[in-house]
């Protein structure tokens, strides 16, 4: 072999180990994210990441028939830079970001140094792959192809376009709540965007505020168009930003607070953040709900402040907005001019805190009782569990999104006078938070909710749907529609009967996962149903078995064809 070819082999060997190292970091990283809590220390993350890369590299070296001493030597070279850099990190000399950056650079250098030091092993020794590896890998890949394809199709079918705007052009005027504007009352604006807004984040605090009768409450948007909420529910905003400004100017009033729910990739982000900064500068109380903290952080209003958000979003928020002191385990964080809440239903506590600040404790206590929110802690932020991904969560999400065989096309009947939380419970729980299906608003025309919001259905009837749900105690009192499931037949918090229905129709682990995503304790909610996702599990196993049989049979056909060609 020429010298050039020997060094080409050397370079290829180095590249292979880098790829194996990155694969180990990616695949094992997903495993640790599922098992370990979402909030970890920087030094722990560094050591886990270094171990993941080392394991991937070591496995590939073993596949290439390297001896164990050589594998151990290379492993030490990969981990040593991070161990050395953690010492000045613990002493406070360098940041965690520098540990990661410098550690990776030194690791690549250390790997190349070891290979050059032992270059005979990498220049001359023949580390060829056993041909049987290719056959085995091919069988595994083909066996996984069928369940993976079904998973991809089902997942995309259920959740692609969860916040998509409706295809038809509909013009509907809002209810005209501004005509009743009372300058003697505080004014609160809740934001929506054309890209979509989480229904629970928005409608929970809205009902707490509007239902009190003590606050002028408006849903506002950057532009005049329908705002899609979670799962095919379209809302007509009360006012645009400009219309709100004109209304307040005409009445000699000012905005007292604004609420930012989770906005789905708003195209109007620049316009929204500029509006937020202007209102905050004018003295309005800034409040974020759940992942709405990302929009508030993008505006700069959270810089240098403590804040919280949904447990799922906190790790990425910590990475993206390092100037914010992100907090876990609290319903909300009140830092004076800014309030941020934890996930979804914690927005109710955000609305109640606004009432405490702008009206008084009695008004907030009455509002909590009106919506039957059992977790209100007057004058203080209550604790919530510090959640993270657990193995059962991964299984529930994977099976529901990929192989759920229960009713997945779900219609939700819009009925005049339905409560805002009742609507949110139907549209948010079955879709984004439990991942069992897709919902769509059903009705003959626009309706007004209990406290004056205007909603527009997307389809007129339930034809072609697997199930029809009717939310609201008002709807249950008016009569029964054949084949429909009336969700709210008693006086209880709106999400309780919905979670019971999820447990009964699908299974208890799915209902508990939905509650965890809603950040809603369900210890006192009687969830009865199947103890596991058995239908989805059986579907996954059958697909895997069929794929394995097809892979083995296909491999034998290929070998037979090759053998027959060779014997001619």
Q: Are residues 445 and 332 in the same domain?
A: no
Q: Are residues 264 and 403 in the same domain?
A: no
Residue 154 domain flag: no
Cα distances (Å, whole numbers) of residue 99 to 17, 159, 318:
22, 38, 17
Q: What is the pLDDT along the chain (568 residues), one digit of tens a residue?
A: 577 777 787 888 888 888 888 888 888 876 676 555 444 567 778 888 888 899 988 888 888 778 888 889 889 988 898 888 888 888 778 777 788 888 889 999 998 898 888 877 777 655 555 566 556 666 677 777 788 788 877 877 766 677 888 877 777 878 777 888 999 999 999 999 999 999 999 999 999 999 999 999 999 999 878 999 998 899 999 999 999 999 999 999 999 999 999 999 888 999 999 999 999 999 999 999 999 999 999 999 999 999 999 999 998 899 899 999 999 999 999 999 999 999 999 999 999 999 999 999 999 999 999 999 999 999 999 999 898 888 788 889 889 988 988 888 999 999 999 999 999 999 999 998 888 989 999 999 999 999 999 999 999 999 999 999 999 999 999 877 888 999 999 999 999 999 999 999 999 999 999 999 999 999 889 999 999 999 999 999 998 888 888 878 877 787 777 777 766 6
- Strands 233-236 and 227-229 come out as antiparallel
Q: Are residues 420 and 514 in the same domain?
A: yes
Q: Are residues 450 and 481 in the same domain?
A: yes
* Among 63, 97, 129, residue at a domain's last position: 129
The structure's pTM equals: 0.80
Around Cβ 56, how many Cβ atoms within 10 Å?
Answer: 22
Structure tokens belonging to residue 492: 């209880």
Residue 208 domain flag: yes
Structural domain range at position 441: 389-532
Q: Are residues 304 and 393 in the same domain?
A: no
* Among 341, 370, 399, residue at a domain's last position: 370
Cα distances (Å, whole numbers) of residue 143 to 68, 217, 230, 542, 554:
32, 56, 36, 11, 11
- Strands 285-288 and 257-260 come out as parallel
pLDDT at residue 277 in the model:
98
Around Cβ 53, how many Cβ atoms within 10 Å?
Answer: 27
Residue 409 domain flag: yes
Residue 155 domain flag: no
Q: Are residues 328 and 181 in the same domain?
A: yes
Residue 549 domain flag: no
Please count the structural domains in the chain. Answer: 3
| Three-state secondary structure of 13-25 | HHHHHHHHHHHHH
* Among 112, 129, 146, residue at a domain's last position: 129
Q: Are residues 190 and 309 in the same domain?
A: yes
Q: Are residues 358 and 396 in the same domain?
A: no
Around Cβ 485, how many Cβ atoms within 10 Å?
Answer: 16
Q: Element (H or E) spanning 307, and its range?
A: strand 306-307
Q: Are residues 48 and 186 in the same domain?
A: no
Q: Are residues 326 and 434 in the same domain?
A: no
Do 149 and 429 contact (CB within 8 A), yes or no?
no
Q: Are residues 220 and 282 in the same domain?
A: yes
Q: Are residues 456 and 509 in the same domain?
A: yes
Q: Could you tell me the CATH number of the domain that includes residue 310?
A: 3.40.50.880
Residue 148 domain flag: no
Residue 545 domain flag: no
């Amino acid at each position: 072999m020429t010298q050039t070819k020997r060094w080409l082999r050397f370079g290829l060997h180095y590249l292979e180990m880098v790829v194996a190292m990155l694969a180990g970091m990616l695949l094992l990283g997903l495993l640790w994210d599922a098992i370990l809590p979402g909030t970890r220390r920087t030094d722990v993350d560094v050591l886990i990441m270094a171990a993941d890369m080392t394991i991937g590299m070591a496995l590939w070296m073993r596949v290439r028939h390297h001896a164990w001493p050589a594998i151990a030597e290379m492993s030490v070279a990969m981990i040593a830079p991070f161990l050395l850099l953690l010492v000045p990190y613990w002493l406070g000399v360098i940041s965690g970001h520098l540990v990661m950056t410098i550690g990776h650079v030194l690791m690549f250098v250390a790997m190349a140094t070891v290979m050059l030091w032992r270059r005979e092993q990498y220049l001359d020794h023949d580390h060829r792959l056993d041909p049987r590896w290719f056959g085995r890998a091919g069988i595994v890949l083909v066996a996984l192809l069928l369940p993976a394809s079904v998973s991809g199709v089902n997942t995309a079918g259920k959740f692609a376009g969860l916040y998509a705007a409706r295809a038809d052009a509909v013009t509907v005027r809002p209810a005209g709540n501004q005509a009743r504007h009372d300058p003697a009352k505080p004014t609160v604006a809740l934001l929506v965007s054309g890209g979509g807004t989480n229904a629970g984040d928005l409608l929970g605090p809205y009902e707490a505020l509007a239902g009190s009768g003590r606050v002028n409450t408006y849903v506002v948007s950057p532009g005049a168009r329908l705002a899609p909420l979670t799962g095919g529910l379209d809302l007509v905003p009360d006012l645009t930003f400009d219309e709100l400004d004109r209304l307040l100017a005409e009445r000699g009033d000012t905005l007292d607070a604004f609420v930012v729910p989770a906005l789905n990739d708003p195209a109007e982000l620049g316009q929204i953040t500029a509006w937020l900064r202007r209102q905050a500068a004018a003295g309005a109380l800034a409040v974020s709900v759940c992942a709405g903290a990302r929009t508030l952080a993008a505006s700069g209003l959270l810089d240098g402040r403590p804040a919280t958000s949904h447990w799922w979003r906190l790790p990425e928020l910590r990475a993206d907005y390092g100037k914010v002191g992100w907090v876990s385990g609290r319903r909300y964080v009140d830092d004076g001019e800014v309030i941020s809440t934890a996930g979804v239903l914690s927005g109710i506590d955000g609305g109640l805190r606004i009432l405490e600040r702008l009206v008084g404790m009695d008004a907030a206590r009455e509002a909590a009782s009106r919506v039957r929110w059992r977790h209100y802690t007057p004058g203080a932020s209550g604790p919530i569990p510090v959640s993270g991904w657990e193995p059962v969560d991964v299984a529930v999400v994977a099976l529901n999104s990929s192989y759920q065989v229960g009713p997945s096309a779900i219609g939700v009947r819009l009925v005049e006078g339905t409560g805002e939380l009742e609507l949110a419970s139907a549209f948010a729980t079955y879709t984004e938070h439990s991942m069992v299906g897709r919902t769509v608003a059903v009705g003959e025309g626009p309706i007004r909710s209990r406290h004056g919001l205007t909603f527009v259905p997307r389809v007129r009837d339930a034809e072609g749907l697997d199930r029809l749900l009717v939310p609201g105690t008002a709807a249950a009192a008016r009569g029964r529609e054949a084949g429909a499931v009336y969700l709210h037949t008693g006086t209880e918090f709106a999400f309780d009967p919905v979670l019971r229905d999820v447990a009964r129709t699908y299974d208890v682990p799915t209902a508990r996962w939905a509650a965890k995503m809603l950040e809603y304790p369900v210890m006192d909610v009687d969830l009865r149903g199947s103890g596991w996702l058995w239908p989805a599990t059986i579907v996954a196993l059958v697909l895997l078995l069929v794929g394995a049989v097809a892979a083995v049979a296909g491999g034998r056909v290929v070998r037979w064809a090759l053998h027959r060609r060779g014997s001619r």
